[in-house]
Structures are given as C-alpha cells and as structure tokens.
C-alpha cells in the first residue's frame, strides 16, 4: 500500500481535523460531528446525514448553508454508531423538524433506523429519506437492492435549498424523495482501491478490463468487459440510465460525472460530453451538469455517472445558493 498515512486507527479523526481547519469558515467538528460554523436560523428544517469516511469529500464536504446541517462521519468505510446519529438529531432538534438522509448500505441503514427509533422514543420530530439509485443493484421495483451512490449529494442540495426557504418538514421530505425517485447512477471501475486501514485490495480489475456496476467500496456489481473508449463507455452507461429513468424526448436532466479517485478531470469532461451527446440525439435536454470528485473510493480509477430528471421546482432548488466546502452556488 502506497499511502501517506499515520496510524490506521487515526485516519478518520485526522482527516476530519484537517478538513475542519481548512474550511474553518464553513464547518467545525464538535464531539465527532461535522457541523456548520454558522448554524441555520432556528425554525427551519434541519438536514442530517451519516456515512463512513474514506469517500472524501463526501459526505462532510456538503455541510454548510443550503445543504447539510450535520454530517455524522464514521470510521473508514464503516457507518457511525446509532448513538452518535442520535446525538446529531438531538443537536439540531427544533420545532421545524429534521430530515435524516440515509444511503442504502447495510451499516448505514442499521444505524440510521436505530437512531430514528431512539429519536421517536424521545419525541424528536424526524423524518427520513433513503437514497438507493444504483441501477446495477437490481430493478427499480427492488429498491432495497440498490445502493446509495453519489446521488445523495443532490438530494442534500435540493432538500437543503427547500429547508433554507423555510418550507415545512413534509415539503422538504417530499422534495428529497422526488429527487431520489428521479435519480439513477451507474458506476464503472478501471482499477480497484485499497482499504487504507487493512491494506486489503478492494475489487481488483484485470489490466485491459473495466467493471461496470462497481459500488463505492469496490464491490463488484456485474459487467466485467474489455476497457472501452470514453465515448463507447459513456454511450453504454447513459443508455442503461435513460432506460432506468424511462427518459423521454423533452425530459430535462442533470448529468454529473463523479470521479472515484484516480480518473482525471480530463477524462470526466470527455465522458460527460459523450453522454450529453447521446441525450441530445434522443431529444433529451441536459439542463444542469457537473464533473468532479464528490464521492470517492480511495484511489479507484473510474467514475459514477449520475442522471436526474428535473422539473421547474427542482431546477430552482438546484440553482439556489449554497456555501459548503465542496459545493458552492452564489
């Protein structure tokens, strides 16, 4: 393993220390929770999420105005404990209520659901939305088999914007759910990653091959095939995503290429442009887009292609101000 680290057990704590110091104007770490430096005004719905570390900048990079109030960061690739999620729900408790966004992974779901039960026992006003947009996990009719990938970030974006506008918990939850329901992601890997604590190789990919459907811990999800060009790979993947969304001519989409660690921005832009071209051929309008590293898998080469069908309201919320370490709209 060729990584610049110290003691394996200290990774999560040390990375959060550095992260909070770099972004001191926006976030701070209090009792292991990543919170906003300037708390959201009381009376607005709070947004909380949880997840393992090692996927930087996700998830804590999206704490700030217009997005998350608290990110409960776990250890490397390991969900935080339910009691710590409850700490976060208590910390943001306010009359407007709280939305907890949970990515569909077994550890996150167990901790998140237990925290919800404990919060209910304390009469905290909390609702939850689960993101499960990985199309390689199974058909849309089986959401439990679909993992939550990079799509969570755009749920934070639109739900966070709605919360800032002072919308009710019911409305914020409905917006988050609508975004989640209209999202689809497919991942491809051209190399595996290394677990930075155990040194274990995660999901090796033979030279000259790629694996489509690889999750965010290097889990295999299907299709190993010969490494293809950017245009060919993009065409293959966008085809699956558009079919999953049942996208029709006239639909308006967001298209995001999320690099997973070792795929350059150069490659991401080339892939983005190829996928957008396929949409254009089919009369589907790509109205918003992004390329970059939002949710990574250590040094894995590859990317997650994310699409979401947007309506007027979701576009307005997508464009609303946000001021977080890794997503800013002015």
Q: Select the span of 19-27, 39-47, 82-90, 250-258 touching other proteins (CB under 8 A).
A: 82-90
Which residues from 239-268 bind other proteins, rule CB under 8 A? none
Among 21, 168, 200, 232, binds other proteins (CB under 8 A): 200
Contact status: 55 vs other proteins (CB under 8 A) = no
Q: Which residues contact 230 (CB under 8 A, 6 or more apart)?
A: 267, 270, 271, 274
Annotation says 123 is catalytic? no
Q: Select the span of 159-167, 215-223, 238-246, 322-330 touching other proteins (CB under 8 A).
A: 215-223
Q: Which residues contact 58 (CB under 8 A, 6 or more apart)?
A: 51, 150, 152, 153, 294, 295, 296
Tokens 């489509």, located at residue: 212
Among 31, 106, 246, 281, binds other proteins (CB under 8 A): 106
Contact status: 225 vs other proteins (CB under 8 A) = no
Report in angstroms the alpha-carbon separations of 4 from 7, 9, 13, 56, 274. 10, 14, 15, 15, 35
Coil vs helix vs strand at 211? strand
Contact status: 75 vs other proteins (CB under 8 A) = yes
Give the residue among 62, 308, 289, 33 at the shortest CA–CA distance from 177: 308
**DSSP 8-state class, residue 144:** G
Tokens 């997508």, located at residue: 318
Report in angstroms the alpha-carbon separations of 83 from 86, 117, 124, 292. 5, 11, 14, 33
Q: Select the span of 75-83, 159-167, 170-178, 283-291 touching other proteins (CB under 8 A).
A: 75-83
Contact status: 30 vs other proteins (CB under 8 A) = no
Q: How many residues belong to the site for other proteins (CB under 8 A)?
A: 36
Coil vs helix vs strand at 123? coil
Cβ–Cβ < 8 Å for 45, 163: yes
Among 168, 198, 229, 232, binds other proteins (CB under 8 A): 198
Contact status: 74 vs other proteins (CB under 8 A) = yes
Contact status: 165 vs other proteins (CB under 8 A) = no
Among 56, 69, 133, 219, binds other proteins (CB under 8 A): 219
Q: Select the span of 56-64, 78-86, 268-276, 307-315 touching other proteins (CB under 8 A).
A: 78-86
Coil vs helix vs strand at 204? coil
Report the interface residues with other proteins, using CB under 8 A. Answer: 8-9, 12, 52, 74-84, 105-107, 110-111, 113-114, 137, 147, 195, 197-200, 202, 215, 217-221
State the catalytic residues: 217
């Amino acid at each position: 393993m060729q990584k610049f680290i110290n003691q394996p057990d200290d990774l999560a704590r040390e990375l959060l220390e550095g992260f909070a110091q770099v972004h001191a104007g926006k976030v701070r770490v209090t009792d292991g929770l990543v919170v906003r430096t300037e708390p959201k005004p009381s009376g607005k719905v709070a947004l909380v999420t949880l997840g393992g570390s090692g996927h930087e900048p996700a998830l804590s990079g999206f704490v700030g105005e217009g997005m998350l109030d608290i990110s409960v960061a776990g250890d490397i690739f390991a969900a935080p404990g339910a009691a710590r999620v409850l700490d976060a729900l208590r910390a943001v408790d306010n009359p407007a209520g709280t939305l907890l966004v949970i990515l569909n992974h077994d550890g996150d779901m167990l901790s998140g659901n237990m925290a919800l039960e404990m919060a209910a026992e304390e009469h905290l006003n909390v609702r939850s939305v689960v993101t499960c947009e990985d199309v390689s996990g199974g058909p849309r009719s089986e959401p439990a088999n679909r993992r939550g990938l990079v799509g969570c970030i755009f749920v934070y974006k639109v739900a966070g914007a709605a919360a800032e506008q002072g919308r009710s918990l019911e409305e914020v939850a409905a917006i988050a759910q609508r975004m989640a329901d209209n999202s689809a992601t497919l991942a491809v890997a051209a190399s595996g990653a290394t677990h930075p604590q155990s040194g274990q190789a995660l999901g090796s990919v033979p030279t000259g091959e790629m694996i489509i459907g690889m999750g965010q811990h290097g889990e295999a999800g299907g299709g190993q095939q010969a490494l293809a060009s950017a245009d060919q790979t993009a065409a293959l993947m966008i085809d699956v995503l558009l079919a999953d969304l049942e996208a029709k001519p006239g639909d308006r989409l967001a298209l995001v290429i999320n690099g997973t660690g070792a795929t350059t921005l150069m490659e991401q832009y080339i892939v983005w442009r190829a996928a957008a071209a396929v949409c254009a051929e089919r009369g589907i309008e790509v109205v918003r887009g992004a390329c970059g590293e939002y949710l990574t898998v250590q040094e894995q080469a590859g990317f997650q292609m994310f699409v979401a069908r947007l309506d007027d309201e979701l576009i307005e919320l997508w464009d609303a101000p946000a001021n977080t370490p890794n997503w800013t709209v002015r």
